[in-house]
Chain A
Amino acid sequence: MILFSGKKGKVVFIAALTLIGIFILCSLGFASEGGGHGGADGSQRLWDLGARFLNFAILVIILFVVIKKTDVKDFFSGRRAEIGQKFEDLKKERDAAEGRFRKLEDELKAFETKKKEIIQQFEAEGVAEKKKIIAEAEERARQILEQAGLTIQREIQAAKDRLAMEMVEAAAQRAQGIIEKEITDSDQDQLVNEFIERVEKLH
Protein backbone atom coordinates (compact mmCIF):
# COMPACT_ATOMS: atom_id res chain seq x y z
CA MET A 1 0.00 0.00 0.00
CA ILE A 2 2.99 2.23 0.66
CA LEU A 3 3.97 1.76 -2.99
CA PHE A 4 0.67 3.20 -4.10
CA SER A 5 0.68 6.27 -1.84
CA GLY A 6 0.46 9.75 -3.35
CA LYS A 7 -1.18 10.92 -6.51
CA LYS A 8 1.14 9.05 -8.82
CA GLY A 9 0.73 5.79 -6.83
CA LYS A 10 -3.00 5.98 -7.11
CA VAL A 11 -2.77 6.12 -10.85
CA VAL A 12 -0.44 3.09 -11.02
CA PHE A 13 -2.68 1.21 -8.61
CA ILE A 14 -5.78 1.89 -10.69
CA ALA A 15 -3.95 0.81 -13.87
CA ALA A 16 -2.79 -2.46 -12.27
CA LEU A 17 -6.27 -3.24 -10.99
CA THR A 18 -7.70 -2.53 -14.40
CA LEU A 19 -5.22 -4.99 -16.05
CA ILE A 20 -5.94 -7.73 -13.48
CA GLY A 21 -9.68 -7.21 -13.89
CA ILE A 22 -9.36 -7.52 -17.65
CA PHE A 23 -7.27 -10.68 -17.29
CA ILE A 24 -9.83 -12.31 -14.96
CA LEU A 25 -12.69 -11.48 -17.22
CA CYS A 26 -10.86 -12.90 -20.24
CA SER A 27 -10.02 -16.16 -18.32
CA LEU A 28 -13.66 -16.60 -17.34
CA GLY A 29 -14.70 -16.20 -20.94
CA PHE A 30 -12.27 -18.77 -22.27
CA ALA A 31 -13.07 -21.21 -19.43
CA SER A 32 -16.77 -21.16 -20.28
CA GLU A 33 -16.00 -21.65 -24.01
CA GLY A 34 -13.62 -24.58 -23.35
CA GLY A 35 -16.28 -26.40 -21.26
CA GLY A 36 -18.51 -26.55 -24.40
CA HIS A 37 -15.93 -28.15 -26.88
CA GLY A 38 -13.89 -30.39 -24.66
CA GLY A 39 -10.28 -29.92 -23.45
CA ALA A 40 -8.41 -30.85 -26.72
CA ASP A 41 -7.32 -27.39 -27.85
CA GLY A 42 -7.89 -25.55 -24.52
CA SER A 43 -4.22 -24.93 -23.79
CA GLN A 44 -3.71 -23.52 -27.27
CA ARG A 45 -6.40 -20.96 -26.71
CA LEU A 46 -5.09 -20.03 -23.38
CA TRP A 47 -1.78 -19.19 -24.89
CA ASP A 48 -3.45 -17.09 -27.50
CA LEU A 49 -5.31 -15.29 -24.79
CA GLY A 50 -2.15 -14.72 -22.88
CA ALA A 51 -0.47 -13.30 -25.99
CA ARG A 52 -3.35 -10.95 -26.56
CA PHE A 53 -3.40 -9.88 -22.96
CA LEU A 54 0.29 -9.25 -23.14
CA ASN A 55 -0.15 -7.27 -26.29
CA PHE A 56 -2.83 -5.18 -24.67
CA ALA A 57 -0.77 -4.70 -21.52
CA ILE A 58 2.18 -3.47 -23.57
CA LEU A 59 -0.16 -1.03 -25.34
CA VAL A 60 -1.46 0.25 -21.99
CA ILE A 61 2.09 0.63 -20.65
CA ILE A 62 3.16 2.49 -23.79
CA LEU A 63 0.17 4.77 -23.52
CA PHE A 64 0.88 5.36 -19.86
CA VAL A 65 4.54 6.17 -20.57
CA VAL A 66 3.68 8.44 -23.49
CA ILE A 67 1.03 10.29 -21.49
CA LYS A 68 3.43 10.67 -18.63
CA LYS A 69 6.22 11.92 -20.87
CA THR A 70 4.06 14.47 -22.70
CA ASP A 71 2.73 16.13 -19.51
CA VAL A 72 -0.94 15.82 -20.29
CA LYS A 73 -1.77 17.35 -17.00
CA ASP A 74 0.28 20.41 -17.79
CA PHE A 75 -1.28 20.50 -21.20
CA PHE A 76 -4.78 20.42 -19.81
CA SER A 77 -3.99 22.86 -17.02
CA GLY A 78 -2.34 25.16 -19.59
CA ARG A 79 -5.28 24.71 -21.81
CA ARG A 80 -7.61 25.54 -18.96
CA ALA A 81 -5.56 28.67 -18.14
CA GLU A 82 -5.58 29.61 -21.78
CA ILE A 83 -9.33 29.10 -21.99
CA GLY A 84 -9.71 31.08 -18.77
CA GLN A 85 -7.52 33.86 -20.20
CA LYS A 86 -9.49 33.77 -23.41
CA PHE A 87 -12.66 33.89 -21.42
CA GLU A 88 -11.30 36.90 -19.53
CA ASP A 89 -10.33 38.55 -22.82
CA LEU A 90 -13.72 37.85 -24.27
CA LYS A 91 -15.30 39.26 -21.15
CA LYS A 92 -13.17 42.36 -21.53
CA GLU A 93 -14.12 42.59 -25.20
CA ARG A 94 -17.73 42.12 -24.25
CA ASP A 95 -17.37 44.91 -21.68
CA ALA A 96 -15.66 47.11 -24.26
CA ALA A 97 -18.36 46.29 -26.81
CA GLU A 98 -21.00 47.07 -24.24
CA GLY A 99 -19.16 50.33 -23.49
CA ARG A 100 -19.07 51.16 -27.19
CA PHE A 101 -22.70 50.17 -27.46
CA ARG A 102 -23.61 52.50 -24.58
CA LYS A 103 -21.48 55.23 -26.14
CA LEU A 104 -23.13 54.73 -29.50
CA GLU A 105 -26.47 54.65 -27.76
CA ASP A 106 -25.64 57.96 -26.10
CA GLU A 107 -24.45 59.36 -29.40
CA LEU A 108 -27.62 58.12 -31.04
CA LYS A 109 -29.67 59.83 -28.33
CA ALA A 110 -27.61 63.00 -28.80
CA PHE A 111 -28.10 62.70 -32.55
CA GLU A 112 -31.83 62.26 -32.08
CA THR A 113 -31.90 65.32 -29.84
CA LYS A 114 -29.83 67.27 -32.36
CA LYS A 115 -32.08 66.07 -35.14
CA LYS A 116 -35.13 67.25 -33.27
CA GLU A 117 -33.47 70.60 -32.64
CA ILE A 118 -32.53 70.94 -36.31
CA ILE A 119 -36.03 69.99 -37.40
CA GLN A 120 -37.48 72.48 -34.94
CA GLN A 121 -35.06 75.13 -36.18
CA PHE A 122 -35.94 74.37 -39.80
CA GLU A 123 -39.60 74.46 -38.95
CA ALA A 124 -39.14 77.80 -37.22
CA GLU A 125 -37.15 79.14 -40.17
CA GLY A 126 -39.74 77.76 -42.56
CA VAL A 127 -42.52 79.47 -40.66
CA ALA A 128 -40.53 82.72 -40.61
CA GLU A 129 -39.78 82.40 -44.33
CA LYS A 130 -43.42 81.66 -45.02
CA LYS A 131 -44.46 84.76 -43.08
CA LYS A 132 -41.86 86.80 -44.94
CA ILE A 133 -43.01 85.50 -48.34
CA ILE A 134 -46.63 86.17 -47.46
CA ALA A 135 -45.75 89.68 -46.27
CA GLU A 136 -43.78 90.35 -49.44
CA ALA A 137 -46.57 88.98 -51.59
CA GLU A 138 -49.08 91.15 -49.77
CA GLU A 139 -46.86 94.20 -50.19
CA ARG A 140 -46.37 93.40 -53.87
CA ALA A 141 -50.11 92.90 -54.31
CA ARG A 142 -50.71 96.24 -52.62
CA GLN A 143 -48.18 97.92 -54.92
CA ILE A 144 -49.72 96.29 -57.98
CA LEU A 145 -53.17 97.43 -56.90
CA GLU A 146 -51.85 100.91 -56.22
CA GLN A 147 -50.07 100.96 -59.58
CA ALA A 148 -53.17 99.67 -61.30
CA GLY A 149 -55.17 102.42 -59.62
CA LEU A 150 -52.73 105.05 -60.79
CA THR A 151 -52.69 103.57 -64.28
CA ILE A 152 -56.47 103.62 -64.38
CA GLN A 153 -56.50 107.23 -63.20
CA ARG A 154 -53.91 108.15 -65.81
CA GLU A 155 -55.83 106.34 -68.53
CA ILE A 156 -59.05 108.05 -67.47
CA GLN A 157 -57.29 111.43 -67.50
CA ALA A 158 -55.71 110.65 -70.87
CA ALA A 159 -59.09 109.61 -72.23
CA LYS A 160 -60.61 112.84 -70.87
CA ASP A 161 -57.83 114.90 -72.43
CA ARG A 162 -58.18 113.02 -75.69
CA LEU A 163 -61.91 113.57 -75.66
CA ALA A 164 -61.42 117.25 -74.88
CA MET A 165 -58.92 117.54 -77.74
CA GLU A 166 -61.32 115.84 -80.11
CA MET A 167 -64.10 118.14 -78.93
CA VAL A 168 -61.90 121.19 -79.43
CA GLU A 169 -60.83 119.97 -82.87
CA ALA A 170 -64.43 119.31 -83.82
CA ALA A 171 -65.54 122.68 -82.46
CA ALA A 172 -62.73 124.45 -84.28
CA GLN A 173 -63.55 122.64 -87.52
CA ARG A 174 -67.19 123.51 -87.09
CA ALA A 175 -66.38 127.14 -86.31
CA GLN A 176 -64.07 127.34 -89.32
CA GLY A 177 -66.77 125.88 -91.56
CA ILE A 178 -69.34 128.37 -90.31
CA ILE A 179 -66.97 131.31 -90.67
CA GLU A 180 -65.93 130.25 -94.18
CA LYS A 181 -69.58 130.02 -95.13
CA GLU A 182 -70.75 133.18 -93.42
CA ILE A 183 -67.84 135.57 -93.93
CA THR A 184 -68.62 138.44 -96.30
CA ASP A 185 -66.67 141.19 -98.05
CA SER A 186 -67.78 143.69 -95.45
CA ASP A 187 -66.40 141.37 -92.76
CA GLN A 188 -63.11 141.26 -94.66
CA ASP A 189 -63.09 145.08 -94.90
CA GLN A 190 -63.74 145.29 -91.20
CA LEU A 191 -60.94 142.84 -90.45
CA VAL A 192 -58.54 144.82 -92.68
CA ASN A 193 -59.50 148.08 -91.00
CA GLU A 194 -59.04 146.59 -87.55
CA PHE A 195 -55.65 145.28 -88.69
CA ILE A 196 -54.66 148.73 -89.93
CA GLU A 197 -55.75 150.26 -86.64
CA ARG A 198 -53.65 147.78 -84.73
CA VAL A 199 -50.64 148.55 -86.96
CA GLU A 200 -51.13 152.27 -86.40
CA LYS A 201 -51.18 151.69 -82.66
CA LEU A 202 -47.76 150.06 -82.97
CA HIS A 203 -46.18 153.34 -84.19
Chain B
Amino acid sequence: MDLREDSVGDITVLEVKGRIDSTTAPTFGEKLTGTLATPDKRLVLDLRQLEYISSAGFRVLLLAAKRAEEAGSRFVLCSISGKVRQLFDLGGFLDLFSISASREEGIAALR
Protein backbone atom coordinates (compact mmCIF):
# COMPACT_ATOMS: atom_id res chain seq x y z
CA MET B 1 0.00 0.00 0.00
CA ASP B 2 1.20 3.50 -0.89
CA LEU B 3 -0.14 6.69 0.66
CA ARG B 4 0.26 10.04 -1.04
CA GLU B 5 -0.70 13.29 0.62
CA ASP B 6 -1.55 16.53 -1.22
CA SER B 7 -3.05 19.82 -0.14
CA VAL B 8 -5.62 21.86 -1.99
CA GLY B 9 -5.89 25.08 -0.02
CA ASP B 10 -6.61 24.02 3.54
CA ILE B 11 -8.04 20.66 2.46
CA THR B 12 -5.85 17.56 2.71
CA VAL B 13 -6.12 14.92 0.01
CA LEU B 14 -4.91 11.44 0.93
CA GLU B 15 -4.61 9.02 -1.97
CA VAL B 16 -4.42 5.28 -1.28
CA LYS B 17 -2.87 2.92 -3.80
CA GLY B 18 -2.87 -0.88 -3.50
CA ARG B 19 -4.35 -3.00 -0.74
CA ILE B 20 -5.74 -2.29 2.71
CA ASP B 21 -5.68 -5.57 4.62
CA SER B 22 -4.65 -6.69 8.10
CA THR B 23 -0.97 -6.10 7.21
CA THR B 24 -1.35 -2.54 5.92
CA ALA B 25 -4.36 -1.41 7.97
CA PRO B 26 -2.32 -0.30 11.02
CA THR B 27 -0.18 2.09 8.91
CA PHE B 28 -3.21 3.38 7.07
CA GLY B 29 -5.16 3.80 10.31
CA GLU B 30 -2.33 5.65 11.99
CA LYS B 31 -2.08 8.14 9.14
CA LEU B 32 -5.81 8.63 8.74
CA THR B 33 -6.81 8.97 12.37
CA GLY B 34 -3.68 11.04 13.06
CA THR B 35 -4.70 13.55 10.38
CA LEU B 36 -8.34 13.67 11.46
CA ALA B 37 -7.43 14.10 15.12
CA THR B 38 -6.48 17.72 14.30
CA PRO B 39 -9.52 19.85 15.19
CA ASP B 40 -11.58 21.14 12.24
CA LYS B 41 -9.46 19.21 9.75
CA ARG B 42 -10.99 18.60 6.31
CA LEU B 43 -9.79 15.57 4.33
CA VAL B 44 -10.59 13.88 1.00
CA LEU B 45 -9.70 10.19 0.91
CA ASP B 46 -9.12 9.30 -2.76
CA LEU B 47 -9.70 5.56 -3.32
CA ARG B 48 -9.35 5.59 -7.12
CA GLN B 49 -6.31 3.31 -7.02
CA LEU B 50 -7.45 1.09 -4.18
CA GLU B 51 -7.39 -2.53 -5.39
CA TYR B 52 -8.59 -4.39 -2.32
CA ILE B 53 -10.06 -3.62 1.08
CA SER B 54 -10.74 -6.23 3.74
CA SER B 55 -12.68 -6.08 6.98
CA ALA B 56 -9.55 -4.66 8.64
CA GLY B 57 -9.69 -1.69 6.26
CA PHE B 58 -13.37 -1.07 6.90
CA ARG B 59 -12.68 -1.09 10.64
CA VAL B 60 -10.05 1.61 10.16
CA LEU B 61 -12.56 3.74 8.23
CA LEU B 62 -15.16 3.37 11.00
CA LEU B 63 -12.55 4.29 13.63
CA ALA B 64 -11.51 7.32 11.57
CA ALA B 65 -15.13 8.47 11.32
CA LYS B 66 -15.41 8.24 15.10
CA ARG B 67 -12.16 10.22 15.66
CA ALA B 68 -13.26 12.84 13.13
CA GLU B 69 -16.55 13.32 14.92
CA GLU B 70 -14.77 13.68 18.26
CA ALA B 71 -12.33 16.28 16.84
CA GLY B 72 -14.92 18.16 14.81
CA SER B 73 -13.14 17.19 11.57
CA ARG B 74 -14.79 16.17 8.31
CA PHE B 75 -13.75 13.69 5.66
CA VAL B 76 -15.12 12.55 2.32
CA LEU B 77 -14.33 9.39 0.34
CA CYS B 78 -14.09 9.71 -3.42
CA SER B 79 -13.62 7.74 -6.66
CA ILE B 80 -14.84 4.39 -5.33
CA SER B 81 -15.62 2.12 -8.25
CA GLY B 82 -15.78 -1.45 -9.48
CA LYS B 83 -15.24 -4.31 -7.07
CA VAL B 84 -14.24 -1.99 -4.17
CA ARG B 85 -17.57 -0.19 -4.50
CA GLN B 86 -19.31 -3.58 -4.57
CA LEU B 87 -17.70 -4.41 -1.20
CA PHE B 88 -18.77 -1.08 0.28
CA ASP B 89 -22.27 -1.89 -0.88
CA LEU B 90 -22.25 -5.47 0.47
CA GLY B 91 -21.00 -4.32 3.85
CA GLY B 92 -23.55 -1.52 4.09
CA PHE B 93 -20.88 1.20 4.08
CA LEU B 94 -22.12 3.30 1.18
CA ASP B 95 -24.64 5.10 3.39
CA LEU B 96 -22.29 5.44 6.35
CA PHE B 97 -19.76 7.76 4.71
CA SER B 98 -19.91 10.90 2.58
CA ILE B 99 -18.89 9.65 -0.86
CA SER B 100 -18.16 11.79 -3.93
CA ALA B 101 -17.72 10.64 -7.51
CA SER B 102 -14.39 12.42 -8.04
CA ARG B 103 -11.62 14.18 -6.13
CA GLU B 104 -12.83 17.57 -7.40
CA GLU B 105 -16.37 16.88 -6.20
CA GLY B 106 -15.00 15.72 -2.86
CA ILE B 107 -13.06 18.96 -2.42
CA ALA B 108 -16.13 20.98 -3.44
CA ALA B 109 -18.25 19.10 -0.89
CA LEU B 110 -15.88 20.10 1.93
CA ARG B 111 -15.77 23.81 0.98
Q: Do A and B come from one complex?
A: no
